[in-house]
Structure 1
Amino acid sequence: MKKHGLLFLLFVAITSCQFSDKKVQSEDDLLQKELKKIDWKKVDAFPTIDACEAISDETQRRQCFFEYLTQTIQEKLNIDTLAILYPEIDTISVKVTVFPDATIKFEPQFPKDSVAYDKVKIDSILHNRLVDFPKINPAIKRGVPVKTQFILPVILNVEK
C-alpha cells in the first residue's frame, strides 16, 4: 500500500507541475507593452544651459532656458540689418531644434500667406547671425538625450 501511495504522490507531483505553468510573455511582448506606456510627446527634462542648471524647480529651469535663448537670439538679430530691410516685421517665429549631440538648428517660420519679404534672405541672415551659442544640454527622456523642437517668438528692434 505504501508503494502505491508513493507512486500516487509522485504521479500527482509530476502532473500538477504541468497545470501550474503560466504562459510567460516573450521579451518582444514585454518590450511592446512597455513602449506603449511611454508618452513620446513629453520629455523627462527639457533642454537647458549651464546657467540654468542650478535651479531645482523644473518649471523655473525651463523658463530660464527659454528666456535666455529668446534674449540671445534677439541680441544677435538686433545687430543686423533684418529690422532695416523689413521694418514691417516686428516679431519672427524661430523653430529651434536641439539634437541629442547638443547641436542646435534655427529655422524661421513664416505665415503661409507671407510674400512681402524674401524668405531665403531672412533665412540666410538668421543662419549667419545665430552662431556661436553656448553649450545647450539636450532634453532627456528616460535617461537618454533626445531631439526636441519648439517655436520661439523673437521680437525684433527691441530699442524702439
Structure 2
Amino acid sequence: MKQFFFFIVCIFFNSCQYFEKKVPSEKELLQKELKSINWKEVDEYPTVSDCETITDKKERQKCFFDVMSQLIQQKLDVDSLSILYPDLDTIQVKVTIFPNSKMKFEPQFQKDSVAYDTIRIDSILHARLVDFPKVNPAIKRGLPVKTQFILPVIIKEKEKK
C-alpha cells in the first residue's frame, strides 16, 4: 500500500507537466486576430436617416446606395453636363465616407477618356456635390471606419423646349 501511495504521488507531481500549456504572447494573439478579420467587409454599411429603420443588412445597403445615387443625380440634374457633353451618359463617382461622417466625391474616368475635359467635369462635380444629409459611417467591430464605393451616376439629357 505504501508503494502504491508513493507511486500515485510520483504520478501526480510528474503529471503537472502534461497540464502545463504554452501561453501565446500578445503579438501572436494579435496576429491571429488580425488574420481572422475580414477587412473587405464591414459589420454595418454606411446609412442615412431614410434607411435606418431597415434591419436587413442587404436591404439597408441597397437603400443607402439608391438614396445616394438619387441625391447625386438630383444635384447634377440642374447642371450643364448633359449640354456640354451630350455623349456622356454615365459617370462613375467614387464616394469616400470617412469615420467622422465627412464625404469625398471623385469622378472615375476611363483611361481613354480624352474626349472629355476631365478637369472641367471634376470641378463641376465638386461644385455641385455639396450639402448632403448626414451620413452615418460604416461600422467594423463597433468602430466607425472609412469606406469607399463607386456609384454609377446617370446624367439625364435635358428636354429641349
The TM-score with structure 1 as length reference comes to 0.89
Residues 95-122 of structure 1: CA deviation (Å, up to 9, x unaligned): 1011111110000011110101111111
Q: CA-to-partner distance for each residue in 1:66-91, whole Å, 9 max, x for gaps?
A: 11100110111111121111111111
Matching residue of 1:126: 125
Provide the rounded CA distance (Å) in 2 between the counterparts of 1:9 and 1:60.
64
Normalized against structure 2, the TM-score is what? 0.88
Contact 2:45–2:138 (8 Å) recurs in 1? yes
CA separation in 2, counterparts of 1:27 and 1:107? 40
Asked if residue 48 in structure 1 is aligned to residue 43 in structure 2, the reply is no
> What is the CA distance between 1:153 and its match in structure 2?
0.6
Amino acid in the other structure paired with 1:51: D
The total of aligned residue pairs comes to 159
Calculate the aligned-residue CA RMSD, in Å.
2.0
Find the aligned partners of 1:85 and 1:159 in 2 and give their Cα distance. Answer: 11
> What is the identity percentage for the equivalent residue pairs of Structure 1 and Structure 2?
61
Shift of 1:17: 2.7
- In structure 1, the partner of 2:142 is 143
Residue 153 of structure 2 is matched in structure 1 by 154
Aligned residue for 1:40, secondary structure, equals coil
Runs of 4+ in 1 over 3 A off after TM superposition: 4-16
Q: Name the SS for the 2:156 alignment partner.
A: coil
Unaligned segments of structure 2, at least 5 residues: none
Alignment-derived partner of residue 84 in structure 1: 83
